[in-house]
Amino acid sequence: MGLDYDISTNEQNFVLEALKQDVRLDGRKLNEMREVNIKILPSEYGHVEVSLGRTRVGCKVSSEIVKPYEDRPFEGIFMINSEISPMCSPFFEVGAGGSGYGVGSNSSQANEEVLISRMIEKAVRRSNALDVESLCIVAGKKCWAIRADLQFLNYDGNFVDASCIAVMSALLHFRKPDIEVAGEDVVVYDTNQREPVPLSILHIPISITFNYFNPNGSEENIKGDLNNELILVDADLLEERLSLGSMTITLNKNQEICQMMKSGGLNIDASLIMNCCSYASKLVDELTEKIHNVLKQDAAVRTNKTEEKELRVFNER
Amino acid sequence: MSFQTEIGLLDQVDGSSTFEFATTKVITSVAGPLEITRMKNEKPTEAFLDISIKPATDVSSTRESFLVTKLAKVLQKTIDMDKYARREIQIMVQLLSPGESEEYTVKELTAIVNSVYLSLLNGGISLRTSFWATCCVIDGNGEILMRPTNKQLRQSVSHHIAVFSIKDGKSDALIFSDSKGSFSENELLKVLDRCCDDIDSFNSKVKKVVLDRVKRDYIWS
């Protein structure tokens, strides 16, 4: 609806004053992330819901067989749909950031949405997290198109981090139907006939967002060299609105940087950025571990013990 | 077979709820009454309903617009439109799991109508009447099956959805009905009767979930 959040001066000062004293409104430390909760919906493959505090994002992965792009005959297609609906917050408009009629009409909200979409796109798709070459079935004729639809449900800051976790865990969990190729004919097996196969995921990029605050007024911001900016991890909505700059860095657990974006007008010393990076890498390790644990638990629930016993090649003696 | 619902789970909008029955699941939100965003939508005497439905996969298509027109038909009769003149009520629907093949829309529409009803109550939007939806199929033997599974739907001869208003805890007047397939007039009347009974059977549970939510929303000293 293009409603803006009006944060009163009192509230602004209160939040900033509290931050200077190392206190956040929800009781976290400055460098503490909110509780990440990954829920895999039991009815199908590749449908997860991630909540980061009160921010909630769903992701559903689906697949179909299509003709590959003309100029890329050996590659499958991978798409991420990250259209933000006003459901998560009246702050976003219908179709504002996409190709709809809202483009250009509205300013900052539309930009915000484009920014979020682009960041997810860069973090997951451009970093080659999903091996698109493995999606090729018959070169130039048939390939898998994998589609990840993000459902933004509730907005309380930091959509990028939450959606990155959602997309990656959904991709890791997804199984596509098994196929058999004979010449140009492709046989697709039903999931009951043959066990569906997982996608080939090369690495798991995870985004971590830092928000920066300047405690010393605007003059210090421009020419000062005190380097005592406040650095927050995983800001909520209010903090995100009030911050002077942010940096999103996407890493995987091999400590490879997949994407990095710093925005906002606050100058940050290079050494502080390095600190952020090494701290992010620690968080990424924890989150990767968490995703794997959730997937393992889900796999244990899904396996049919008796069926597995029957399918075994050898019997217990 | 019953339904699951969670009311008031989103905090940026005025009202929200999820609704799940027979593997169909939706989440809806209601925000309003708001200022009109586009001047051309303004209606001098009544509210403007901004409804959008997003599918579980892919972007919205004609299928979703089709659902929007049907939902609008129900809501225009049930929301107290005159009360919100020159205002906008924004209704968002996100399908989470369709629970039926693409060529059908009955189960989704049923879940959407019920979920929007709960969201409207949660959002404090004035309604002319309570309402509830249910769906059924008629199978090859002429038998009526309420709230079918996807398999029953695919094997059916016709399928139907009915929305009834609720008065004094009983289903009262027919607000909306939609059928597809081949069926006789008698069969349709029988279907509507069965839907009526089915809605009555839900009533106590609907009342309970709404009451629970209201208890949580306000302080009752």
Instruction: Please give the single-letter amino acid code of residue A34.
Output: R
* A→B interface, C-beta within 8 Å: 1-3, 41, 43-44, 47, 54, 56, 58, 60, 62, 81, 83, 85-91, 93-94, 147, 149, 151, 153-156
Q: Which parts of chain A register pLDDT below 50?
A: 1-2, 97-105, 107
Residue to test with chain A: of B9, B36, B37, most A Cβ within 10 A: B37
Is residue A195 assigned to a domain?
Answer: yes
Q: Looking at residue A150, what is its pLDDT?
A: 92
Query: Is a pLDDT exceeding 80 seen at residue B104?
Result: yes
Angle between helix axes B106-123 and B62-78 (nearest 10 degrees) is: 50
Domain encompassing residue A260: 29-304
Pick from A109, A90, A3: nearest CA to B30: A90
Q: Looking at residue A2, what is its pLDDT?
A: 45
Give the residues across from A56 on adjacent strands. A51, A154
Residue to test with chain B: of A55, A63, A87, most B Cβ within 10 A: A87
Q: Looking at residue A4, what is its pLDDT?
A: 59
A82, HSE (Cβ side, Cα atoms, 13 Å): 24
Please, what CATH class does the domain formed by B3-214 belong to?
alpha beta
Pick from B125, B202, B121: nearest CA to B162: B202
Query: Is a pLDDT exceeding 80 seen at residue B59?
Result: yes
CA distance B167 to chain A (A): 31
Pick from A85, A69, A163, A72: nearest CA to A118: A163
Give the residues across from B31 on adjacent strands. B90
Residue A56: its chain B contacts at CB < 8 A? Answer: 10
pTM of the model: 0.89
Mean pLDDT over each residue of chain B, to the nearest integer: 91
The predicted-structure confidence for A43-57, as pLDDT tens digits, reads as follows 889 999 999 999 999
Is residue A85 assigned to a domain?
Answer: yes
Q: Do A90 and B50 count as a contact with CB atoms less than 8 A apart?
A: no
Going from the C-alpha of A20 to that of each of A200, A210, A221, A223, the distances in angstroms are: 46, 16, 16, 20
User: How many other C-beta atoms are found inside a 10 Å radius of the C-beta of residue B128?
Assistant: 13
**Which of A208-217, A283-292, B75-84, B131-140 is predicted with the least confidence, judged by mean pLDDT?**
A208-217
Q: Looking at residue A102, what is its pLDDT?
A: 40
Query: Is a pLDDT exceeding 80 seen at residue B129?
Result: yes
Pick from A125, A121, A147: nearest CA to A62: A147
Which of B56, B88, B92 is facing A87, going by the closest CB pair? B92
Please answer whether residues B136 and B160 qualify as being in contact, where contact means their C-beta atoms are separated by less than 8 angstroms.
yes
Work out the average pLDDT over B151-155.
Answer: 91
Q: Looking at residue A105, what is its pLDDT?
A: 43
The predicted-structure confidence for B164-178, as pLDDT tens digits, reads as follows 999 988 889 999 999
CA–CA separation, B98 and B198 (whole Å) = 22
Please answer whether residues A132 and A76 qualify as being in contact, where contact means their C-beta atoms are separated by less than 8 angstroms.
yes
Peptide bond into B33 cis (omega under 30): yes
Q: How many residues are given for chain B?
A: 221
The predicted-structure confidence for B17-30, as pLDDT tens digits, reads as follows 999 988 899 999 99
Domain boundaries, chain B: 3-214
Domain count, chain A: 1
Q: Residue A294 belongs to a domain with what CATH number? A: 3.30.230.70
Q: Which SS3 state, helix, strand or coil, does residue B94 take?
A: strand
Please answer whether residues A150 and A82 qualify as being in contact, where contact means their C-beta atoms are separated by less than 8 angstroms.
yes
Work out the average pLDDT over B107-115.
Answer: 95
Please answer whether residues B206 and B177 qualify as being in contact, where contact means their C-beta atoms are separated by less than 8 angstroms.
no
